[in-house]
Structures are given as structure tokens and as C-alpha cells.
Amino acid sequence: MMQIKDQMGMIPVPGGRVWYRSVAADRDGTPLLVLHGGPGAPHDYLENLSDLADERPVIFYDQLGCGRSERPDDSSLWNLPRFVSELAAVRSALRLERLYLLGQSWGALLAISYLLEHGTCGVAGLILSGPLLSSPAWMRDQRMLLEQMPDDVQDVISLAERENIFDTPAYQAAMDTYYRRHLCRLDPWPDCLQRTFEQLGLQVYLTMWGPSEFTCTGNLAQVDLMPRLGGLDLPVLITCGRHDEATPATCEAYRELIPSARLVMLEDASHEHHLEQPGRYLAAVRRFFASYDQKYPVTGGTETMAVFEGAPAAEQQ
């Protein structure tokens, strides 16, 4: 019997090297490549997705600038096109001819941007969890959610945005109140989520997004993939929580635009619904896999091989 093992290493990408871990790397089954959120929020908070490795390899990587990956002090690297190129380099280095993609939050925007540029060949399906696919829609949702917060929280946030000062204790406290309602409703927060915040790539987050989930001042502010979602030709599962920053109404709008999408909304959960309702979340993902694994077997056709010619090899540790 083949021994099931993990692999870890570093992968050369544009601008530096990124750390990856492949859980159950030798297991049969179409691999799942996980794209974390942020930008700049390393994969730790998604580590319970490794439970899916009982039936396939599950691969995590920390995007450049955060977590265990290199952190170059170069703000010109922090933009969507470079992260798309990074994802292409990771896929090539790991020789993922056939795979599923899972993007959480910003990772969903990254996944679809990659597919729109590189095509869907070899991608068996796409899972979008609490997806950011349109920054204008995201910000409209955050404004709507903020209107439901206590008046004192709204006043602090309004003052910070007017004065462009976000490092005050009052703003941080208001942000914490918001996050505990719409980011993660568990009390206390799980250790894996705490570790993600401790390893946050702050330069990446501030450059691309801004000082908080509800204040966008970065270079993603105008990104909107909604007009292009109708061109996605692959199976898609969208998940969200009832209290998600990615609101159920907006996720339903995404579902209506994507021809082969289905939507699962989890009650009593928010943006980190994979942590708040892990059993229900993982069951939904497993049902999605079961629908398409037989149609898309592990062995890819020759049409996928050109993607990987001359790819830099992963440096295993």
C-alpha cells in the first residue's frame, strides 16, 4: 500500500518564493488547491479543509508577502495581475494538470481572475466561499451592514474615514465589534484564525484593500468581475453565511450570473462559516466533489500538458 504523506517546500514565483504544503500528497483523487483571503491573510484559518484529504490531496500555499512565504519590501508587487501570475507558477510547479480550486474571500477573486486569463482547461470545478468578486458590491454590502451597527460604532468609523486616521484605539475597537458580528462569530476565535492575524501581510492588505474590511482605499477598489461571470464554463459552488460580509443577496446575484453555479447558505454563521459550521460546510463541499469526480478523473488529457512545459520545480523540504 502506498504511504500517504505530506509535502512542504518553497516555490519560485514572480517577486520571490512562496511556501506550500500538500496534505496527503500521494493520495488518489483530483487535488484541491486552496487560495486564502486577505489579500495577505495566510492559510492557517483554512487548515480544517485538510479534513478533505481523506479522499484527495489538499494543497495550501501562503501568497507572497504573508505567512511562511517571503516578504519582499516592494509595494509594486501587490497587485492582482502579479498574484494571478503567482497562482499560475504554483500550479505549474506542482504539476497540477487536473485540480479543483477553492477561493475564500479575496481568494475567490484571484481564482476567477486566473480562470478568465488562463482558461478553465484541467479545472474540474471551483468553490467560492464568502466570495469577493466585485469590490463595489462588497462595499455596498459593508455600508448596509454598518447601518445595522450601534450608533457609537458608526460614528467612530465615519470620523476615521473623514479624517483618514485609522490607527486610533476607538477605530480598532469598532473594527473588532464589526468583525465579531460579520467576520467570525465564534467566541473565542479559534487558534488558527488568531495565527492568521498574527502572520498577516499588512503591507499587502493595506496596498490592495485598506485599513479594514469595510474601508477600501487600495488598488482593488474598482475591480468588478460581475460583467464577466457569465463566461465561466465550469461547475461552481458558492457558499456563504447568513451574517457574511459577502451577503447572501450578493452571493445569489453571483449564482444567477454563473451558468453552472449552485449556492449554499449556512445559518448561524458569517464570513468564516467553514469554521463556524465545519460539518455542514465540508459536507456541502464533499457533495460538490461527488457530483464531478467521476466526470473529471485524476489523469488529465494531453491538452493540459502545454500549461506545464518548462515550469519551475517546487523545492521540497
Please give the positions annotated as active site.
105, 244, 271
Whether the CB-CB separation of 254 and 229 falls below 8 Å is answered with yes
26: three-class secondary structure by DSSP? coil
What is the C-alpha separation between 116 and 9, in angstroms, rounded? 28
Total residues belonging to the chain: 317
Quick one: cell of 125? Answer: 470545478
Q: How far apart are CA 308 and CA 88, in angstroms?
A: 9
Backbone phi, then psi, for 18, in 5-degree steps? -115, 150
Pairing type for strands 32-35 and 58-61 reads parallel
Residue 129 φ/ψ, nearest 5 degrees: -110, 120
Angle, CA 220 vertex, CA 70 and CA 58 arms, to 5°? 50
